[in-house]
Amino acid sequence: MAVHNIFRVKALFKNLFLALVLPLLIIILWQIASDRGLIKPSIFASPETITVSFDQMVEKGSYFKHVTASLGRVIYGYIIGSMLGLVLGSLAVLFKTFGKMVDPLIGILRPIPAIACIPFFILWLGIGEASKIGVIVIGAFWPVLLNTMQGIRSADPKLLELAKAFGKTRKIMLCKIILPSAVPAIFTGLRLGISGAWTCVVAAEMIAASAGVGYLISYGRELAQPGTLFVGIISIAIIGLIIDILVIKIQKKTLYWVDQED
């Protein structure tokens, strides 16, 4: 076992190293190009400037205010949006009549990007929290809804026939076959939903907000502070990555029966 663990730790370090090589290289080249005056510091803040801006924001405490503001909205909107998607998606497949009623509606509404609804939400709900959360709800809703529907439809007909041969009731079929079959697709939906929610919060905050990562970016542009602007952009990337890693970890635990890549 011990030997096995040593190999695993070694492999982990090797993978970490390989993953970091290119980002580090880009940062170094970026810094050199800034120092040599090859790129305009008033637009492309150098890594050094970005770090300084970041330090200042952390010191003032404003950085965490912005991040928690965005995260709070995402969590709020994501929970509402994904729950709605999950429930409506299940009902639309399990109850054929209901499904036939909502199918055309889904077809019409789905192509509208959540971001296109931001002005309408501001008009309707004002520039407070409600309008931002409304947009996130929509951003999370669609991927969860569509993947839930697809997942519930994907139950293996051979397993359903098996349940029939064993004289199982519809309720048992639902709990033991249809819902577990849908879990992998639902997870795909939840994963797309969280990234949709994260995109929406940034967009909504850029248009109307007084705090949040999106606000940070548009504030940086308005005051011509490229350092602040880049802190915002990089934060989006890193928080998005952390969320995705967390979701994948949960997915691996939940989908224990599916063969997954490491």
Partner 1 sequence: MAINVKNVQKFFIINGRKIEVLHDINFSIGDGQIISIVGTSGCGKSTLLKVIAGLEQSTSGSVELNGKKIDHPSEKDIGVIFQEPRLLPWSSVEKNIEFGISQTLSKSEKKKIIREHVDLVGLTGFEKALPKQLSGGMQQRVSIARSLINRPNTLLLDEPFGALDAFTKINMQKEVLHIWEKEKTTLILVTHDIDEAIFMGDKIVVLSAKPGTVKKVISVELPRPRDRTSDDFARVRRLVYEQFFPKEELAVEYNI
**Residues at the contact surface with partner 1, assessed by CB under 8 A:** 158-159, 161-162, 164-167, 176-177, 180, 183, 256-259
| Cβ 180 to partner 1 shortest distance, Å | 5
Q: How far is the CB of 254 from partner 1 (least distance, A)?
A: 10
Number of residues written out for the chain:
262
Q: SS3 for the chain, per residue?
A: CHHHHHHHHHHHHHHHHHHHHHHHHHHHHHHHHHHCCCCCCCCCCCHHHHHHHHHHHHHHCHHHHHHHHHHHHHHHHHHHHHHHHHHHHHHHHHCHHHHHHHHHHHHHHCCCCHHHHHHHHHHHHCCCHHHHHHHHHHHHHHHHHHHHHHHHHCCCHHHHHHHHHCCCCHHHHHHHHHHHHHHHHHHHHHHHHHHHHHHHHHHHHHHCCCCCHHHHHHHHHHCCCHHHHHHHHHHHHHHHHHHHHHHHHHHHHHCCCCCCCC
Q: How far is the CB of 259 from partner 1 (least distance, A)?
A: 7
Residue with smaller CB distance to partner 1, 100 or 164: 164
User: Quick one: 14 or 170, whose CB is closer to partner 1?
Assistant: 170
Q: Minimum distance between the CB of residue 258 and partner 1, rounded to whole angstroms?
A: 8
For residue 230, what are the CA distances in angstroms to 41, 59, 241, 244, 256? Answer: 12, 17, 16, 21, 39
Q: Give the nearest distance from C-beta 153 to partner 1 in angstroms.
A: 17
Tell me the closest approach of the beta carbon of residue 186 to partner 1, in angstroms.
13
Q: Which is nearer to partner 1, 9 or 258 (CB)?
A: 258
Nearer to partner 1, 210 or 254 (CB): 254
Give the residue with the Cβ less far from partner 1, 160 or 247.
Answer: 160
Instruction: Closer to partner 1 by CB, 52 or 177: give it.
Output: 177
Which residue type does 45 have?
A
Q: Which is nearer to partner 1, 134 or 151 (CB)?
A: 151
